[in-house]
Homo-oligomer: A and B are copies of this chain.
């Protein structure tokens, strides 16, 4: 057992088994399985690679490393005939990687929609249920220990993006790297956005969305806040819980729900993997390795097709709606509904809420750029994608 602070008292562990020299440990040569729960890229990557070279299989909980270098690690594991398991890297104890890569091995997954970060789900749930603003909800999450002192990795969705890369790779049998994942944090979600969501029968969640394109030849992976209908099973995922919704050809709609983080849940997932790897070793076999045979292209965010909810601050005078509608039409973005209302507090300002039909993200970006140039549009208050319909 290699640790940073060997002097710490560890109930039930013989101190003679504790070392600070992780490298010497993985190089012993008589190790069957290495459990890596360090996190981060280095020294984890080198230790895991060395473990494979010295004849050990690896169980890891390291989402950052798997998202960045999963393919390379799988290649080294395969070269040495070793197992690489990492159930704990995505959504804590929720069995997700095993179901996706084994239970659905004979099915075709078309979409994965996941709440894969407990901190941000806690914050958004708090905003939804109490009307609190982002900062207030974050402060409560910090006070309760759900958010770290520096919450950047969570609220800017770096954590969720890493999980999206891992999920997309496994779901679509293709390589998706962290850099392929479009990422938008949730720090700019406001109480007003929640009010807009409620008016549409929706709530707001930070979603990891992995989709196969309609033509089947490419995939996309993205993480951003989105409105989803209250009737969607993900809408009722409360507090710091995680859940992943999977749509496949044959199985239909599945959802996996549970605690997304924490010491004990992570230990549960790691132990499940450890048992599997030990079983494999005893029978002289290895479990499923990387499955990247589909080798699909990962398309950029502009190719994503979805619906949008756009709030505009506009001049409160005749003809504005016609101008705005023209811009949408010119960019090929079809409008589903428009709600226009004068604002009590303004000098001749009104707000215009547009919900579109499905359109590409590139078309929507073009539309918004053009809207900003209109004299009558004072500002774009918010743009939110609408998912799960």
A255/B255 in contact, CB under 8 A: yes
Judge if A130 is at the interface, Cβ distance under 8 Å.
Answer: no
Q: In the complex, A236→B286 CA distance in Å? A: 39
By a CB distance below 8 angstroms, the chain B residues around A274 are 106
A–B Cβ pairs within 8 angstroms, 29 of them: A93-B107, A94-B254, A95-B102, A98-B102, A98-B103, A99-B99, A102-B275, A102-B276, A104-B268, A105-B271, A105-B272, A105-B276, A106-B268, A106-B270, A107-B268, A233-B257, A248-B268, A249-B264, A251-B258, A251-B269, A252-B262, A252-B264, A254-B256, A255-B255, A255-B256, A257-B257, A279-B288, A283-B286, A284-B284
Report the Cα distance A107→B105, complex, angstroms. Answer: 25
For residue A76, CB closer than 8 A to chain B, the reply is no
7 tightest Cβ-Cβ pairs between the two chains A and B: A106-B271, A93-B251, A283-B285, A95-B103, A95-B99, A250-B268, A105-B275
CA distance A55 to B92 in the complex (A): 39
Instruction: Give complex CA distance A251, B265 in Å.
Output: 4
Q: How far is the CA of A288 from the CA of B264 in the complex (A)?
A: 24
Q: Which of A257-311 contact B (CB under 8 A)?
A: 257-259, 262, 264-265, 267-272, 274-276, 279-280, 283-286, 288
Please tell me if A323 contacts chain B, counting CB pairs below 8 Å.
no
Q: Which B residues are in CB contact (< 8 Å) with A340?
A: none
Closest to A104 in B: B272
Distance between A56 CB and nearest chain B CB, rounded to angstroms: 18
Complex Cα spacing A94 to B257, Å: 12
A341 within 8 A of B: no
Q: Write the A95-125 contact mask toward B (1 if CB under 8 angstroms, else 0).
A: 1001100111111000000000000000000
User: In the complex the two chains form, what is the Cα distance from A94 to B233 in whole Å?
Assistant: 15
A87 at the interface (CB under 8 A from B): yes
| A272 with B93: CB separation less than 8 A | no
> Across the interface, do A95 and B87 meet the contact criterion of CB distance under 8 Å?
no
In the assembled complex, the Cα of A107 lies from the Cα of B243 at a distance in Å of 20
Residues of B within 8 A of A280 (CB): 285
Among A95, A98, A259, chain B packs the most CB atoms within 10 A around the CB of A95
Q: List which A45-85 residues lie within 8 A (CB) of chain B.
A: none
Question: A116 vs B274: C-alpha distance in the bound complex, in angstroms?
Answer: 30
Q: Which residues of B contact A87 (CB under 8 A)?
A: 103
Residues of B within 8 A of A258 (CB): 251-255
**Residue of B whose beta carbon sits closest to that of A272:** B103
- In the complex, what residue of chain B is closest to A252 when comparing beta carbons? B259
Contacts of A251 in B (CB 8 A): 92-94, 258-259, 264-265, 268-269
CB distance from A148 to the nearest CB of B (A): 20
Taking CB atoms and an 8 Å cut-off, the chain A residues in 355-389 that contact chain B are: none
Q: How far is the CA of A102 from the CA of B95 in the complex (A)?
A: 9
Kindly identify which residue among B92, B259, B272, B285 contacts A102, using a CB–CB cutoff of 8 Å: B272
Chain B residues with CB under 8 Å of A275's CB are 102, 105-106
Whole-angstrom distance between the Cβ of A333 and the nearest chain B Cβ: 33
How far in angstroms is the closest Cβ of chain B from A175?
21
Q: Within the assembled complex, what's the spacing in Å between the Cα atoms of A264 and B104?
A: 12
Instruction: Beyond the given A95-B103, A251-B264, A251-B265, please list 11 additional residue pairs across the A-B interface where CB-CB is below 8 A.
Output: A87-B103, A94-B251, A95-B254, A98-B99, A104-B272, A106-B270, A107-B272, A254-B257, A280-B285, A283-B286, A284-B284
Chain B, Cβ-Cβ closest to A245: B257
Instruction: Tell me whether B106 and A272 are in contact (CB under 8 A).
Output: yes
Bound-state CA distance A130–B133 (Å) is 37
Are A257 and B259 interface neighbours, CB within 8 A?
no
Which residue on B lies nearest to A271, using beta carbons?
Answer: B106
Question: Looking across the interface, which residue of chain B has its beta carbon closest to that of A263?
Answer: B250
